[in-house]
Structure 1
Amino acid sequence: MALLALRLGHHHHHLGLSAPRDPRRLLRRRLVVASSGAVKAPAAAAVVWFKHDLRVDDHPGLAAAVAAEPRRPVLPLYVFDRRILADASKWREQLLFSPNFLRRPAPPLSGMCQIMKVLIGMDEIKGYSDTMLELLLFALEDLKMVLKSQESDLLIGLGNAEDVVLKLVNEVQAGLIFTEEEVEYRVRNVLASVESSLSNSSFLSGNPPEIVVWSASLYDYKNPRELSTSHNQFLKEKLPMNTPLAAPSLPALNIEIETGSLPTLEELKGFLKESRTSENNWVPLKGTSARSILKKTLSQINVKTGVASSGSDGGEDTTAYYAMSGRKIQNSMFTSESSTEVRGGTEITLDALAAYLKYLEGTGKASWQELHDKVRLTETRDGASFCTLFGPALQLGVISKRRVYHETIQYERDRNAGFISPFGYSTPTVTAAVDAICSMEWYWLLALKSQVCIEGNYPVRIWRWKGHLIQYTSVGHEGPSVLLVHGFGASLQHFRDNIGAIADQGCQVWAITLLGFGKSEKPNINYSELLWSELLRDFIVDVVKEPVHLVGNSIGGYICSITASLWPSLARSLILLNTAGSVVPSYSFIPLSEEGRTSWLSSLQARLLLLFLRSRAGGILKEYYPTRTERVDKPLVDEIIRAVSSDHKSYDPGAATVIESIFSFNLSIPLNFLFDSFGGKILIVQGMKDPLTKSKSFVSMLREHCSKVHIRELDAGHAPHDEVPDEVNSLLCEWIKETGA
């Protein structure tokens, strides 16, 4: 994509985080397309602000900065900003308007909640894990070394980006700032703050510097607004592919300025935690997996699980493997013997990619043999090893997506005398790399489009979870938080007539599109109820930052129940709309499913199911809306089936992987066990005409074995919140008011 230039003027509005209008939208509205060649500007210094683009290779911003004549000083900059690395904001912006928030009574706590009590709303260090911080430092060290080899250097700043950038701009009288396009909500807010700081400051040159926003897109498109959100249509357009840029030759850094040095891992962790006080720390809820907590809880009440101990990903224990092997690899591509993420800079990552692609060829190099061992350990499903090994490097921008794509396709051509077969690639590693890169690019384009135009009823924000892009929305500024969780095959748009109505009654409403659904990313991983429960946990902790009323429909209700059961301090109450799951009066055995490799049969079943859903979606949905079939309109049908197509190559990348999970779903954890573990207030809203459930029998079991549960029966089907939204909204608002009294 062409470079995007942004001119800042003194007449622009202030874009602080507490501004009532979305700073992201103001920023994007002023973008204009500029030439992809040299930027015409006087030879004032240029700052290249690195964030998630820690490389010199295939870096359009760096290439443009050095391309102008006469040559200007170029200052590479990296800022350790807590808001980017750790999401350490004290309060979300809406709470700045709520001085009485701290006086709210704490939610009722019971059982496990007493052990995991949290102080919600205080500073918390989330975002990058310790592993990612270590990989970040490796990447920065390599970038700094590469820049020094050209008599340049990487300037290191610590603190808020707007302060660091403004100080540097004033010191060197910079006229240009090059920075990569971002889609994450919190990072876009940081960019907006930098923009605001510059536009409201005075400069000796008279004008603030020009910000040039760039991207290294795999596809050559002109305007993200014009991109189709249908993957089928997108493929039909056959956009040209961009080729990666060679690393530019940099001018020597002949400016007397303190460049700074990289911190150690412990120093960085200390810096990120500086704003925390001992009494304001969160108890680390995210430190233990859902499976571990569940197994421990069941063992304490003498309930057998019938599950052998295994890693959370269903793979082998890499720590045990390497402890047993006792090998130490010279020039290893990994931070430790037990790690599975490629570390270092572009050169190491390219070498690792070459080793990965040549997995079937064998090698005598010890470092390549080590990587091949890691491939076998992380291949929990076909192609899954690529994202495990290279995902962090791609997230940090150590290597670009289009460089990986180019190198992979070139390897395929070399293997086949310059020929690319229309029937598929010649090795599974080539297939895995190409599929992963094209999938990542597709969901990044969807995320980018959602930031420049509103599709649906509510503005979409992007949150990155474990490297994957998740869509969510937030409506309302004050009041109790409510989190809406959709069912299988749906998205946050399924709450189209609930979000605004509940927010209008004095609530802050959050709705999320779960990983694997809607326009959230669909990575090649093993999906399970426990995975999604951990996603909800992290979303509440990292994004909402206070306990929520958990509202879930269908499988979303079951996931909410698991979340409330395992981390009860995160839920003010539990509201289930025709939830999945069952009541088991006397349980002494709960078989927890293993998260292992899926069979070829489930893969075939998934593809057949995709074809069936495509052809019958409208009719099936009308059966789920028995009292108001007119609610099954085109937007609903399009949203439900957008991820499937009659051509198996053109549905959303990863859709078949998610559908496969249907055949391995484990709903064996009884709802009554989950309710007891939660210990809080629970409302069941049941559409009695649900074709998927024997509603009368289900309600009878609830009344007999779950005495503390409140039940409301409605004349509706499987999705009462969308079939009769007014009735459900009234019930929810009344419940939230009563439980908060």
Structure 2
Amino acid sequence: MALLSFSRSFTLLSSPFHFFSPRSISRRRSFVCSLSAATDVRSRSAVLWFKHDLRLDDHPALSAAETHRFVLPLYVFDRRILSRYSDDMLELLLFALEDLRNSLKEQDSNLMIRYGCAENVIKELVKEVKATDVFIEEEVEYEMRQLIGVVKKTLETSSSLDWNPDIVMWRTPFYDVKNLKELPASYNDFKKQKLLPTSPLLPATLPVVETELDWGPLPTFSDLKEFIKGKLGKSKESWNLMKEMPAEVLLKENLSKSSETIPKSLNDKSIEQRRRDKSVFVTRKGDIVGGGTNTLLNALASYLRYLEGTARDDWQEVHERLRNAETREGASFTSLFSPALCLGIISRRRVHYEAIKYEKERNAGFLSPFGYSAASVAAAADAVCSMEWFWLLALKSQVSNEGLYSIRIWRWRGHLIQYTVVGLEGPAILLVHGFGAFLEHYRDNINAIAEHGNHVWGITLLGFGQSEKPNVVYTELLWAEMLRDFIIEVVGEPVHLVGNSIGGYFVSIVASLWPSLVKSVILMNTAGNVIPEFSSHRFPSERQTSAAARLGAQLLLFYLRLNIRNTLKNFYPTKTNRADDWLINEMLRASYDPGVTVVLESIFSFDLSIPLNYLLEGYEEKVLILQGMKDPLLDSKAKLAMLKEHCTGLAIRELDAGHCPHDEQPQKVNSIICEWSSGSLNPAYKIAKFEIEESFIGLTSYRFNLKLTCQSVHDHGNVIAISISP
């Protein structure tokens, strides 16, 4: 029997919570959690709040809580959490909760289901069961960390509680990292530490629940959707609907004028059919693995053993989906298992443990120093190691203040994305970087623009900087969909979209496909062409990368690492000192991240054939072109001439700069962007503003109380609505 001690003395600096991190263990039947030196843990009771840890296997909090006198497992259907989920994720959630409840019932426990605000639900249950501890898994996402803070504050300040329950924050450590603040910034340096992954914990056994409690029913999918819509409002609901239509479908519709239909909404009948079929692909689309932990482990075993073949129907289904999802080498694991990992139905270190165990079985108990013997093993092990690295980077950014800006984390399709925001009010401006850059490339822009009364957002796109670099096929449409979802889920209002280089092409796609999200477009040395009289486009049925693209990406990465200083200096012809050590080191750091070669492959498969003059149609007087005239990548004069000729209503500013004018001439660019967002550079805005002021002056002379509602003048139609009440 092995004993594991979870010490409350281990804390993270700059955090108000207590933490424990279990280390590796091979076999155990009981654990000791030293929550308080003066209190017998067996006299304590706990509420364990499940969020993204929907499992009994490898669950450190359950292992710590199993010696308590009483443990109340809880899941709260909170709209603030659920509104972030797609329909597929909601389906997975319901299956996972059903399995979790059944597993707990087998231990004579149960899973309590509640609806509402988590802080209020937890407070009332703590009072009802007289809980001394509340176990909460640590999160890296900004919104989730904010929610946990609200829960903590509610418990601390509640007048209905005569005691302050301990908030026990926990996580499932993949590596035994002693101090997050000392985590190397480079993955290359991190690997040199040669930390071994910790072993997963066996399922805990909780105390029998003898108290009579109302455990609450699990909702149907339809009921859950209605619950989420309850307080969204029509505008928010219509915005959320935009996320259901892929960018490629919209482009095809716009180009062919065909009547593609939105995928039918899910219903309980289709979900119940999956239950009867006992398929591990439980969603209506049938392309991601779901269910409970045991189902996931079975699917994982099948995935790892792909090369062996099988006569089992359920494994054959996994193998078929694997082949369909293998758009590039190893991409199938992320495609099939990432959503379940996001919900915590299975832990990352359990996946790694099972993959390595199978690899040893194939090789007489040994691991080859030359790599894995099966591509499926490599895909699974590499994916979870990569996920863990970016999770550590994200967590470090939340507990330390080393960067230029305060970093927040947003989870998009299961992947961790860095962003920042400065300013509390004013026009919303979203800054989008170019290829190989990151949000800090706007190092001298974000604060300066915000100081002039703007609400400025900066984002590091998927695959760049310290945002996650999953094994997926990267396309211009993928990044455009990411920007769309960021505006909808995070910004929450229409924005002035600013893009540099390939980022300019991405924002042009967003403006074309989802105009209600965009006030105006500012393009700085943008990628993309101008094609007169463009009318049609043929889309490839599926994007896949080739062996030539993979080789090209590796060679390109090698070249860039050797020549990054000279390459950057060429991009800054008038101020070469701006290509400084900080910028070079940040780009070099990112070049060693796992997955970077996958991102570089996209250079060989970009489809920029939809021209700018087509994408910017309907944005007359709402597009500003900022062009560094000394850009080494293109003929700036020729490009501006084509834009002037074939795009009507453009505002153009020529700058004495290279490819990145915002970083080479930040003061000039900041001034122009601020003037643009305030409307002083936009003729349409001037007219609308003048009419509003004239009306206001006339009405106030009659002492009317004026309530003025003006839709942004950069929106389509320049609608101005004035309501007057005496």
Q: TM-score range by the shorter chain?
A: 0.7 to 0.9
Could you tell me how far apart the structure 2 residues matched to 1:456 and 1:389 are?
Answer: 34
Please, which of 128, 136, 147 is the counterpart of residue 171 of structure 1?
A: 128
Letter in 2 for 1:530: L
User: Do 1:451 and 1:461's aligned partners in 2 also have CA atoms closer than 8 Å?
Assistant: yes
CA contact (8 A) 1:624 1:717 kept: yes
Does 1:199 pair with 2:156?
yes
Quote the residue 2:700 is aligned against.
none
Partner in structure 2 of residue 297 of structure 1? 254
SS at match of 2:522: strand
TM-score by length of 2: 0.87
What does residue range 32-431 of structure 1 map to in structure 2 within 5 Å?
32=18, 34=20, 36=22, 37-41=32-36, 42=39, 43-67=43-67, 71-86=68-83, 127-202=84-159, 206-277=162-233, 281-283=237-239, 284-300=241-257, 330-335=277-282, 338-431=285-378
CA contact (8 A) 1:513 1:520 kept: yes
Structure 2 gaps of 5+ residues are 23-31, 690-726
Q: Higher RCO, 1 or 2 (CA under 8 Å, sep at least 6)?
A: 1
Q: Distance in 2 between matches of 1:657 and 1:603?
A: 8
Deviation at 1:594, TM superposition (A): 4.9
Equivalent residue, structure 1, for 2:624: 683
| Contact 2:274 2:282 survives alignment (8 Å) | no
1:465 aligns with 2:424: no
CA-CA distance at 1:294 after TM superposition: 1.0
Which one-letter code corresponds to 1:30 in the other structure? P
Q: Report SS of the residue matched to 1:422.
A: coil
Provide the aligned length of Structure 1 versus Structure 2. Answer: 657
The list of structure 1 runs, each at least 4 consecutive aligned residues, that deviate by more than 6 angstroms after superposition, is 326-329
Counterparts of 1:639 and 1:591 in 2: how far apart (Å)? Answer: 38
Instruction: Tell me: CA distance 1:338–1:710, structure 2 relative to 1, closer, same or farther (3 Å).
Output: closer
Query: What CA distance in whole angstroms lies between the structure 2 residues aligned with 1:160 and 1:338?
Result: 31
Q: Deviations over 1:547-572 (max 9, x none)?
A: 00000000000111111011111111
Cα shift at 1:441? 0.6
- The CA deviation at 1:202 is 3.6
Q: 2:15 corresponds to which residue?
A: 29
Distance 1:530 1:338, change over 3 A: closer
The unaligned stretches of length 5 or more in structure 1 are 9-24, 87-126, 303-308, 313-318, 645-650
Q: Supply the distance in 2 between the matched residues of 1:515 and 1:279 (Cα, whole angstroms).
A: 27
> Which digits, 9 at most, give the CA deviation of each residue in 1:529-583, with x for residues without a partner?
1111111111111111110000000000011111101111111110001101111
Per-residue deviation, 1:3? 5.8
Instruction: Tell me how far 1:34 sits from its aligned partner.
Output: 4.9
| Aligned CA distance change for structure 1 residues 301 and 140 (closer, same or farther; 3 Å) | closer
Distance verdict in 2 for CA 1:716–1:268, change over 3 Å: same
Alpha-carbon contact 1:487-1:552 (below 8 Å) kept: yes
**1:514 aligned partner:** 461
**Is the Cα contact below 8 Å between 1:2 and 1:34 reproduced in 2?**
no
**Given the superposition, is the C-alpha separation of residues 677 and 616 from structure 1 closer, same or farther in structure 2, using an over 3 Å criterion?**
same
1:129-183 CA-to-partner distances (Å, cap 9, x unmatched) read: 1121111010001000111101111111110000000000011111111111100
Give the Cα–Cα distance (whole angstroms) in 2 for the partners of residues 506 and 4 of structure 1. Answer: 47
Question: Using a 3 Å threshold, how does the CA distance of structure 1 residues 166 and 5 change in structure 2: closer, same or farther?
Answer: farther
Q: Cα 1:393–1:148, aligned 2, differ >3 Å: closer, same or farther?
A: same
Task: Check conservation: 2:442, 2:663, Cα contact below 8 A.
Answer: yes
SS at match of 1:287: coil
The verdict on how the C-alpha distance between 1:513 and 1:590 changes in structure 2, with shifts beyond 3 A counting, is same
Residue type at the aligned position of 1:373 = E
Native 8 Å contact 1:227 1:234 kept in 2: yes
By how many angstroms is 1:40 displaced?
3.2
Residue 623 of structure 1 corresponds to 570
Q: Percent identity?
A: 55
**CA distance change for structure 1 residues 625 and 2 in 2, over 3 Å: closer, same or farther?**
farther
Once superposed, what is the RMSD of the aligned Cα atoms? 2.6
Q: State the distance in 2 between where 1:45 and 1:233 align.
A: 43
Q: CA deviation at 1:287?
A: 2.2
CA contact (8 A) 2:136 2:170 kept: yes
Q: Is the 8 A contact 1:176 1:212 kept in 2?
A: yes
Q: Distance in 2 between matches of 1:707 and 1:130?
A: 40
TM-score, structure 1 length as denominator?
A: 0.85
The alpha-carbon deviation at position 588 of structure 1 amounts to 4.1
- Cα distance in structure 2, aligned partners of 1:677 and 1:431: 48
Cross-structure match for 2:645: 704
- 1:553 alignment partner in structure 2: 500
Q: What is the CA distance between 1:498 and its match in structure 2? A: 0.3
1:105 paired residue number: none
- CA distance in structure 1 between the aligned counterparts of 2:407 and 2:234, rounded to whole angstroms: 35
CA contact (8 A) 1:147 1:153 kept: yes
Whether the 8 Å contact between 2:498 and 2:504 is mirrored in structure 1 is yes
Indicate the SS of the match to 1:75: strand
Q: Are the aligned partners of 1:5 and 1:213 in contact in 2 as well (CA < 8 Å)?
A: no
Cα deviation for residue 331 of structure 1 reads 2.9
Residues 5, 31 of structure 1: 8 Å contact kept: no
The code of the aligned residue for 2:196 comes to: P
Q: Which of 446, 449, 454 pairs up with 1:499?
A: 446
Indicate if the aligned counterparts of 1:3 and 1:212 stay in contact, CA closer than 8 A. Answer: no
- Stretch deviating more after TM superposition (364-373 or 590-599): 590-599
Q: Is the 8 A contact 1:592 1:668 kept in 2?
A: no
Q: Does 1:452 align with 2:449?
A: no
**Take 1:464 and 1:538, find their aligned partners in 2: how far apart are those partners?**
11
CA contact (8 A) 1:566 1:678 kept: no
Aligned to 2:594: 653
User: In the superposition, relative to structure 1, how do residues 721 and 327 fare at CA in structure 2: closer, same or farther (>3 Å)?
Assistant: closer
Checking the alignment, whether the CA contact within 8 Å between 2:181 and 2:400 is kept in structure 1 is yes
CA, structure 1 residues 360+44, in 2 after alignment: closer, same or farther (shift >3 Å)? same
Q: Deviations along 1:617-663, whole A, 9 cap, x unmatched? A: 0110000000001111111111222222xxxxxx2111000000001
